[in-house]
C-alpha cells in the first residue's frame, strides 16, 4: 500500500475513534471500526486533533463575524469541540476524578471509573475544566482572534498526542476496555506523532505568538499529561481509556493557560 493511502487510513482510524464525524468507509480500508492497526495509526492523531481544532476555530471566527463578543464566541467554539468529539475526553476526566477521589483501593477506583453515573468529584472536575477552557479562550479572543483560533488548533493536536503518554508509559490497569484493546503505540508511530504534535503546537506563531511562548505551551501540555500519568500510576497502577481522556483534557488546558497568561 502506498504511503499516502496508509496515512489516510490511519487518519480515518484516529478520527473514527476520537470524533463523531460521519466518515465514509473507503474500499481499501481493512477494518474501519476495529482496534486492529490503532497502535500504528496513532501517528496521525495530531492531524485528527488539528482538524477538530480548525473546525472549532471556524466556529469562533463565524461567531465573531456576526458581532458576537468573545464571551459568547468562546463557549460556542468549545461547545463545537464537545459535539465533534462526543465529549469523549471530558467523560474520561470526570470518571478519573470520581475514581481517584472516591475509591479507597485501586480495585474500587477502577470500579467507580467504570460506573456511567457522575459523582461530585467528576462534576467539579468537568465544571472547572470547562471554565478554564472557555475563560482562557475568551481572554485570547479578546486580545487577538487569530491567535485564539491558532491556539485551538495547536492545543487540539498536541493534547491528543499527549493522551498517548499513559498508553506508552503504563501497563493496562484492567484486562479489558479501550486502554487494554488499543495496545501500546508502536515506537515509530509514537515518534511520528510527537514530531507532528510539536509542529502543530507551533501554529500560534503564524498568528503572531513568539517561539518561546509556543514552546512553553508545548512543554506545559506535555508536562500536564506526564503529571497525570504519574498520578494514574499511583492511584490505579496503570492506564485506561479514561486516563487517556484525563491526560488530554489537562494537556489542552495547560496549553491554553500559557497563551492566556499576560493578555
- Higher per-residue confidence, 4 vs 249: 249
Does residue 14 fall inside a structural domain?
A: no
pLDDT score for 46: 97
Residues sharing a CB contact under 8 Å with residue 120, sequence separation 6 or more, in sequence order: 98
- What's the pLDDT tens digit per position in 181-203? 566 889 999 999 999 999 999 99
Does residue 30 fall inside a structural domain?
A: no
Does residue 112 fall inside a structural domain?
A: yes
- Could you give the residue ranges of the DSSP H alpha helices within 103-186? 106-114, 120-143, 145-162, 164-169, 178-182
Residues sharing a CB contact under 8 Å with residue 101, sequence separation 6 or more, in sequence order: 119, 121
pLDDT score for 126: 97
Does residue 39 fall inside a structural domain?
A: no
Q: Let me know: does 77 contact 90? Beta carbons within 8 Å.
A: no
Residues sharing a CB contact under 8 Å with residue 240, sequence separation 6 or more, in sequence order: 110, 113, 172, 173, 174, 177, 178, 179, 180
pLDDT score for 2: 60
The pLDDT of 235-245, averaged and rounded, is 95
- Cα distances from 17 to residues 23, 39, 182, in angstroms, run 11, 12, 10
Nearest to 102 by CA among 88, 123, 132, 130: 123
pLDDT at 7 over 90: no
Does residue 16 fall inside a structural domain?
A: no
Phi-psi domain of 183 (left: phi exceeds 0; alpha: psi -120 through 50; beta: other) = left
Does residue 5 fall inside a structural domain?
A: no
Place of cell 453515573: 117
- What's the pLDDT tens digit per position in 47-90? 999 999 999 999 999 999 999 999 999 999 999 999 999 999 99
Does residue 176 fall inside a structural domain?
A: yes
- What's the pLDDT tens digit per position in 57-68? 999 999 999 999
pTM above 0.75, yes or no: yes
| Domains held by the chain: number | 1
Structural domain of residue 169, as residue ranges?
Answer: 46-260
pLDDT at 256 over 80: yes
Residue 102 CB neighbours (<10 A) = 17
Nearest to 134 by CA among 16, 4, 227, 252: 252
pLDDT at 26 over 60: yes
Query: Rounded to an integer, what is the distance from CA 191 to the centroid of its chain?
Result: 17
Q: Let me know: does 236 contact 109? Beta carbons within 8 Å.
A: yes
Does residue 219 fall inside a structural domain?
A: yes
Q: Is 182 exposed, middle or buried (0-12, 13-18, 19+ CB in 10 A)?
A: buried
Task: Please say whether the dihedral angle defined by the alpha carbons of residues 207, 145, 217 and 200, taken in this order, is positive or negative.
Answer: negative
Residue 36 CB neighbours (<10 A) = 13
Q: Let me know: does 217 contact 259? Beta carbons within 8 Å.
A: yes
Of the chain, the percentage scoring pLDDT greater than 70 comes to 90
Largest interatomic CA distance in the chain: 52
- Higher per-residue confidence, 137 vs 15: 137
Q: Let me know: does 230 contact 169? Beta carbons within 8 Å.
A: no
List the beta bridge partners of residue 172: 239
Amino acid at each position: 500500500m502506498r504511503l499516502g493511502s496508509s496515512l489516510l487510513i490511519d487518519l480515518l482510524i484516529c478520527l473514527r475513534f476520537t470524533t463523531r464525524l460521519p466518515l465514509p468507509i473507503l474500499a481499501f480500508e481493512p477494518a474501519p471500526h476495529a482496534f486492529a492497526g490503532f497502535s500504528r495509526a496513532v501517528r496521525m492523531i495530531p492531524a485528527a486533533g488539528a482538524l477538530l481544532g480548525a473546525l472549532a476555530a471556524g466556529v469562533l471566527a463565524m461567531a465573531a463575524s456576526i458581532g458576537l463578543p468573545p464571551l459568547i464566541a468562546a463557549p460556542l467554539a468549545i461547545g463545537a469541540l464537545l459535539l465533534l468529539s462526543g465529549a469523549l475526553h471530558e467523560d474520561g476526566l470526570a470518571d478519573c476524578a470520581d475514581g481517584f477521589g472516591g475509591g479507597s483501593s485501586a480495585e474500587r477506583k477502577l470500579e467507580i471509573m467504570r460506573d456511567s453515573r457522575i459523582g461530585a468529584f467528576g462534576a467539579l472536575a468537568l465544571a472547572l475544566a470547562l471554565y478554564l477552557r472557555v475563560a482562557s479562550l475568551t481572554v485570547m479572543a479578546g486580545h487577538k482572534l487569530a491567535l485564539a483560533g491558532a491556539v485551538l488548533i495547536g492545543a487540539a493536536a498536541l493534547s491528543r498526542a499527549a493522551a498517548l503518554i499513559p498508553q506508552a508509559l503504563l501497563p493496562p490497569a484492567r484486562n479489558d476496555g479501550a486502554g487494554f484493546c488499543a495496545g501500546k503505540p508502536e515506537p515509530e508511530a509514537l515518534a511520528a506523532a510527537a514530531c507532528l504534535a510539536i509542529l502543530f503546537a507551533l501554529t500560534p506563531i503564524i498568528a503572531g505568538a513568539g517561539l518561546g511562548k509556543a514552546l512553553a505551551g508545548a512543554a506545559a501540555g506535555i508536562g500536564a499529561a506526564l503529571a497525570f500519568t504519574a498520578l494514574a500510576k499511583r492511584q490505579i497502577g496503570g492506564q485506561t481509556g479514561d486516563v487517556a481522556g484525563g491526560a488530554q483534557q489537562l494537556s489542552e488546558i495547560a496549553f491554553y493557560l500559557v497563551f492566556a497568561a499576560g493578555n
